[in-house]
Amino acid sequence: MLAALLLAAPMAHAGPLGFATPPAEIAARVMNNAPGSIVVGVSRQGHTQFAMQRNGVAQPGPVQEIATDGQPIFEVGSISKLFTGVLLAQAVERGDLSLDDTVGQLLAGQVTLPPDIAAITLRQLVTHGACLPGMLPGASPMADGNPFVHPDRAQLLTGLSTLKLDRKPPCNGPYSSLGLGLLGQLLADRYGKPWDMLVHENIAAPLGMRDTVQYLGPDAQRLAPGYEDKSPRTPWDFGALAGAGALRSTAADLLVFARALMAGRKGPLGAAAERALTPLGHDGTYELGYAVRMRGPADHRTYFHTGQTGGYRALLVFDPATQDAAVMVASNASAAAARMVDDITVAPAAVRKRK
């Protein structure tokens, strides 16, 4: 029987969060009684544990340990970029694409692009080094708060054809969902399949991640209702920019993904997992691999990415040196994920310093 931990209020203990912190404590502190649901999973020393809290608008609920199967589904936002990065790593491993391939080469004969846009490489797209804005100029939030305005492929190409860059690539940032969304579309074009199908065939299905999808279908009732603070929010649609943030998933599935990446070339993703974690660039704040962010020296890096949509917040962080991983998915965009990022990703360096 799963034990109810009855942690409806935030923890009195306020030390740093880390892989050794019980998932129940992380859930209560990150959610801080905000409405919505949160699931935290931690995989440490070969043991995996999940905790969930479901709060009403006026009444917080208890934190409970939960099983792997049947967990609530959440929008994971920009954690989707890690999947796009792995798809690119797989394409490079196969020899189907090169990091030096350009947008102009891949869209030749389909659209006339400004020279600076045409010269952008796949390396620059996956490391936010293309000098692209966060999203297409002119995009404005719809009534549901979605700033991506779900452009289709034709609208994306039209937008690129008139786009003017402030600087000439390469750049160290800015962070660009447009760039990763474009990369996802280029991958879809290369293989003649929608981005979500590439994710399913090349990552989710081989890893047994049954709940990691763009479109929920019959499982829509498992999607935790989204909030921003105390205001309900509707799910987002990304259209041709799906590769930037369109996935829905569970904490359990994301830990499976993290373990596959940490396993490197000997794991189920093969050499692409090792390649995906290879440093490629810097965005001005973090060193970057294939869309994944990293902290720490070469002998002990911690890898992570956050995600946010209108009503959801997510974090995936893992440490291949210790094989520890943690995931947080919350159906409230106001959940305090930043604290968890700073605590966990800085922790390995602090531990080494004490040694």
pLDDT at residue number 4 = 32
User: What is the Cα–Cα distance from 147 to 195, expressed in whole angstroms?
Assistant: 20
Burial-class residue 336 by CB neighbours within 10 Å (0-12, 13-18, 19+).
middle
> Hey, how many other C-beta atoms are within 10 angstroms of the C-beta on 80?
34
Give the HSE-up count for residue 155: Cα atoms under 13 Å, Cβ half-sphere: 16
Contact between 192 and 96 (Cβ < 8 Å): no
Question: Which CATH number does 74-310 carry?
Answer: 3.40.710.10
Contact between 51 and 217 (Cβ < 8 Å): no
Give, for all 355 residues of the chain, the pLDDT tens digit: 223 332 333 344 457 778 889 999 999 888 888 899 999 999 998 899 999 999 998 888 999 999 999 999 999 999 999 999 999 999 999 999 999 999 999 999 999 999 999 999 999 999 999 999 999 887 655 545 677 666 899 999 999 999 999 999 999 989 999 999 999 999 999 999 999 999 999 999 999 999 999 999 888 999 999 999 999 999 998 999 999 999 999 999 999 999 999 999 999 999 999 999 999 999 888 999 999 999 988 888 999 999 999 999 999 999 999 999 999 999 999 887 666 666 666 554 443 333 3
How many residues are listed for the chain in this entry? 355
pLDDT at residue number 59 = 85
* pTM summary value: 0.92
Under 8 Å CB-to-CB from 312, ≥6 apart: which residues? 74, 75, 76, 77, 224, 226, 329, 330, 331, 332, 333
**155-183 per-residue burial string, b: 16 or more CB within 10 A, e: under 16:** ebbebbeebeeeeebebebbbbbbbbbbb
User: What is the Cα–Cα distance from 146 to 142, expressed in whole angstroms?
Assistant: 6
Residue 105's SS3 state is helix
pLDDT at residue number 349 = 44
- 343: Cα separation from own chain's centroid: 18
